[in-house]
Amino acid sequence: MTDKILIADDDPDILRFIEVNLGLEGFNLIKAKDGEEALREAIDLLPDLVLLDVMMPKIDGFEVCRRLRSDPRTSNISIIMLTAKSLSADKVVGLTVGADDYIIKPFDPMELVARVRSTLRRSREMRELNPLTGLPGNVSILQELDRKITRKEPLALMHIDLDNFKAYNDYYGFMRGDLAIKMGAAVLQEVCSEYPPGKCFVGHIGGDDFALVTEPDLAEKIANEIISRFDAKSPSLYDAEDVARGSITVHDRRDEVREFPLMTISLGIATNQHRPIASHLAASEIATEMKQFSKRNESSAFSIDRRSRLDA
């Protein structure tokens, strides 16, 4: 889908200049000649980005930016301020009222395009992050998998979740449940951060489910480290008496009382080390299958698919 950009400037020459340069890049462009029109168009059309001149009639760019940020319908739209002033105070005001970036007139066409693309990219990345953990979500996970599969790179996909999480969430409440998910995410990030960039990627599928993408030669080491660190931290999520008992008592869906042990972590690992993986769907199915094997253990565990093509 083509990104939609609203250009708001009272100078027709600037409007035309921006329209020509961004139009050549394939953007879908909307124009507004003053602040009031910019607000109307932004609310009606919900562009992906607004290029907003500071000095405009009726409503100036700072006020337009402030109103866009305060309206739930437009609060997540990317905004770049256009200003003829290079004073630090003007830049500070623009960023304070919510602008993502600013460009000083006169600007170079290449700089304009680069800043627009950079701002849109950052916006997409921020929208994709899980709001609880700050980890990349499903779109980024699939992109990472597709990149490795397309390039035929060594691939190991881990599906990871927290065992007995629902019982914990029911027993302690969702706020402490969120803390458990954040702790699990922190463990994964901590382990991954010890490897060079590109060797370990962590994403948050949703709830207590995570994905980790790495290389087959690193998978077992990473899995063992995750289990070791999670098991060391898991008791800190519980009250002292529950830790001493080693379990919590929860009513299940049939209103029957059940004992649930402290949370553990299960990992299922799919790799292309012994057989090719043709798609992210195939990788996910294998990793999910392996995770179910891991869940048969009463303690934290991982299972790796080592089947060859002939065994499959």
Q: What is the DSSP string of 18-50?
A: HHHHHHHTT-EEEEESSHHHHHHHHHHH--SEE
Provide mean pLDDT across the span 6-32.
93
CATH number for the domain harbouring residue 144? 3.30.70.270
Total domain count, the chain:
2
Same domain, 123 and 148: no
Same domain, 155 and 44: no
Instruction: Answer yes or no: is 133 within a domain.
Output: no
Same domain, 107 and 147: no
CA dist 41 to 46, 49, 74, 222, Å?
A: 8, 12, 11, 50
Same domain, 259 and 166: yes
Same domain, 186 and 89: no
Q: What is the DSSP string of 252-288?
A: -TTS-EEEEEPPEEEEEEEESSSS---SHHHHHHHHH
At 306, list the tokens: 């080592």
Same domain, 122 and 213: no
Which range marks the domain in which residue 153 is found? 138-304
Give the SS3 label for residue 160.
Answer: strand
214-269: pLDDT as tens digits:
999 999 999 999 999 999 999 999 999 999 999 999 977 777 889 999 999 999 99
Compute the distance between CA of residue 42 and CA of residue 25 in angstroms, rounded to an integer. Answer: 21
- Using CA of residue 242, residue 243, residue 245, residue 249, what is the dihedral sign? positive
Same domain, 175 and 89: no
CATH number for the domain harbouring residue 83? 3.40.50.2300
Instruction: Answer yes or no: is 312 within a domain.
Output: no
Same domain, 69 and 123: yes
The residue among 293 and 87 whose pLDDT is bigger is 293
Residue 72, pLDDT score? 79
pTM: 0.71
Q: Which of 79, 101, 128 is the last residue before a domain boundary?
A: 128
Instruction: Answer yes or no: is 309 within a domain.
Output: no
Helix and strand totals (H; E) in the chain:
11, 12
Confidence of residue 2 (pLDDT cuts 50, 70, 90): confident
**Of the candidates 54, 123, 57, 59, the residue with the CA atom closest to the CA atom of residue 95:** 54
Residue 186, pLDDT score? 95
Same domain, 15 and 70: yes
CA dist 50 to 77, 134, 216, 244, 249, Å?
A: 7, 25, 44, 57, 54
Half-sphere exposure (CA, 13 Å, Cβ side) for 227?
Answer: 17
- 44 pLDDT higher than 80: yes
Q: Which of 128, 163, 197 is the last residue before a domain boundary?
A: 128
Same domain, 174 and 288: yes
CA dist 66 to 61, 62, 89, Å?
A: 9, 6, 16
Q: Which of 97, 128, 159 is the last residue before a domain boundary?
A: 128
State the residue for tokens 């060797």.
199
> Residue 57 phi/psi, 5° resolution?
-70, 160
Same domain, 146 and 84: no
